Amino acid sequence: MVGIDGDCLVGLRFTENAPTDTPEQFDTPIADETRQWLDMYFGGDIPNWIPKHKLNGITPFRRATIDAIKQIPFGTTISYKEIANKVSRKIGVSRVSARAVGGAIGWNPICIIIPCHRVIGAHGEITGYNGGIKNKIALLRHEGVRID
């Protein structure tokens, strides 16, 4: 499912159901830009840009978490704890829990492009993903991440 607000992408999620968006939303420059990004990604290229997007209703904590996720390179993973450490430094607090980071990551409305699938458990375990664990594993394998 794709969400578009004017000239910005606001949502991208896996869905088993038919899209609820209006057909007109799919004939826009941002829809074309998003398709181009996804075609590159699934075609084996590494896009070096992100489609124009906005994150509605984002808190400063979520912003810091999303910013950290955007920095995870293609084909690599990072733990929730490592993201929590980055976020705590960015927002100037002594500690942020990995669970709080997990909640912020679960909020991410633009999956794949904002690569929350690259965040894993502290011991390398594949943990929750709004798009489903099967899809998380498939995305990581697509990026060449070895899954035991």
pLDDT at 18 over 50: no
Range 110-119 burial, b when 16+ CB lie within 10 A, else e = bbbbbbbbbb
Question: Can you give the pTM of this predicted structure?
Answer: 0.88
**HSE-CB for 96 with a 13 A CA cutoff:** 24
The H or E element spanning position 8 is: strand 8-12
Is 8 noted as a catalytic residue in this protein?
Answer: no
**Which among 116, 119, 120, 139 is annotated as catalytic?**
116
**What percentage of the chain carries pLDDT values higher than 70?**
93
The answer to whether residues 118 and 140 touch, using CB atoms and an 8 Å cutoff, is: yes
In this prediction, residue 6 has a pLDDT band, given cuts at 50, 70 and 90, of: confident
In this prediction, residue 19 has a pLDDT band, given cuts at 50, 70 and 90, of: low
In this prediction, residue 17 has a pLDDT band, given cuts at 50, 70 and 90, of: very low
